[in-house]
Amino acid sequence: MKKALLFAVGFILYGVLMWFYLLHGAHTELPIQYRGSAADPTMFMNDRQLKLSYDFSRLKDLIYFLSVPLEWLIYLLVLGFGLSKKMGGAVKGITRFSLVHTGLYVLLLSFVSWLLTFPLRYYSYTVSRDYHISVQLFQGWMKDSLIDFWVGWLFTFLTVVVIYFFIRKAKKKWWLYAWLISIPFTIFMYFIQPVVIDPLYNKFYPLKDQALKEKILTLADRAEIPASNVYEVNMSEKTNSLNAYVNGIGSNLRIVLWDTTLDRLNDKQVLFVMAHEMGHYVMNHLYQNLIGAIILTLFGLFLGSKIYMWALAKWGKRWGIKGPGDIAGLPVLLLIFSLLSFLAGPVENAVSRKAEKDADRYAIEMTKEPEAAVGAFQKLTISGLSEVNPPKLVKFFLYGHPTMLERITFLDSYKDKYKPEELQKAKKQKQQ
């Protein structure tokens, strides 16, 4: 009980420190050399939007930095109070089938975690509603939360079944066998994500604007992408933010535009966004992400197995865990993998930011429309109340894209290279 209290007090102190850093300690002022430039938010946002952007960003970042250790705290409390041992014993009394034991245990643990994180997730939803980023009604948000829960349970259950099967069969090399099985599973997930999982949350349909569709497909043809369709998704039912993305691989690859993006960006801006997504395809970023995920899984399983055995040797008896193959040890594994994922996050973000900048470069060199590109990111900043120059710690842990300051400044640097033809001629005549 004392340790649980210490953990709780430590979590509260950590929350206060993060609040102080984000609201008072973080440096977010725009460097003087960028003031008055296209990246200066005062040039394209009004005073109210600037204040909303600052307040919303602070709250959103604080929620993230609270949510990560909250997950760790839940696993520690489940272990420390002996709840994991009790749940393991309870499911074994229901049936003699180990597969059912695993499914029920994962369901109980998932429910405990879902329930304890619900207040923070609900607060995050209300913040988005209050700042008019989200327009989703509570029942719609709750429906998505329940879909998240059951999809998460299914994949956790499948993963746990495989891992514990190999732990029981090969205590020393289970991580290697689990990794080998994970490879086809990861590839399979890349294939089914666009056509099976994404439609659970939103409706996808071919782009309605035929003229714009023709322009996008012409762009795809120039990029030598065998695209036959562009998809639109009805995100306006949920959010005011703008977005577009590409996911899936092979025949299931999809280029998707949110309908909010189509409503608020002009054709030139949409074409730049599409060229950016095509850049990911042309430069094989999707396949690089797939390979990266497989490699990270290998290292994660290897390190996780070593830490798992060490943790059980040190605290297993105290937690009531009979051995590595005891399902009651699952919170230990989940805690370890969560910690490793958190530590790997900044490296993944850095790689992702490089890929995003390369895609921006590809898009601007293909469209040759720096004004449209800059305008698109300015509108994205306004619609999402994004912070142009976020705190360094926030960028380090959260940003898989360059900051808006970096992106707008980079794209604006092309304005002299790709000036309209008449301006270029006038410049040449003036020089002569």
DSSP 35-83: TTSTT-GGGTS-HHHHHHHHHHHHHHHHHHHHHHHHHHHHHHHHHHTTH
Smallest CA-to-CA distance from 22 within 382, 385, 342, 393 is with 393
285 assigned binding-site residue: no
Rounded to whole angstroms, the Cα distance separating 181 from 155 reads 14
Complete edge-to-edge strand list for the sheet that includes strand 244-247: 204-206, 231-233, 254-258, 244-247
- Note if 130 is an active site residue: no
Q: Which tokens in the block code for residue 401?
A: 């894209």
Give the bridge partners for 257, in sequence order: 232, 244
280 assigned binding-site residue: yes
Residue 356 in contact with residue 402, Cβ under 8 Å?
Answer: yes
Pairing of strands 254-258, 244-247: antiparallel
Rounded to whole angstroms, the Cα distance separating 323 from 168 reads 10
**Which residue is catalytic, options 360, 369, 371, 387?**
360
Give the bridge partners for 246, in sequence order: 255
**Which residue is catalytic, options 277, 326, 369, 387?**
277
User: Degrees (nearest 5) of the Cα angle 57, 204, 133?
Assistant: 20
User: CB 129: neighbour CB atoms within 10 A?
Assistant: 15
Give the bridge partners for 258, in sequence order: 233
DSSP 152-221: HHHHHHHHHHHHHHHHHH-TTTHHHHHHHHHHHHHHHHHHHIIIIIGGGTS-EEE-S-HHHHHHHHHHHH
Rounded to whole angstroms, the Cα distance separating 209 from 281 reads 23
Helix (H) or strand (E) holding 312: helix 285-319
24 assigned binding-site residue: no
385 backbone φψ class: left, alpha, beta (φ>0; ψ -120 to 50): left
Rounded to whole angstroms, the Cα distance separating 142 from 144 reads 5
The residues, any chain, with a CB within 8 Å of residue 419's CB and separated by 6 or more, are: 427
Rounded to whole angstroms, the Cα distance separating 394 from 386 reads 12
- Note if 259 is an active site residue: no
Helix (H) or strand (E) holding 226: none
- Active-site residue set: 277, 360
Annotated binding residues, as ranges?
276, 280, 356
Annotated binding residues for Zn(2+), as ranges?
276, 280, 356
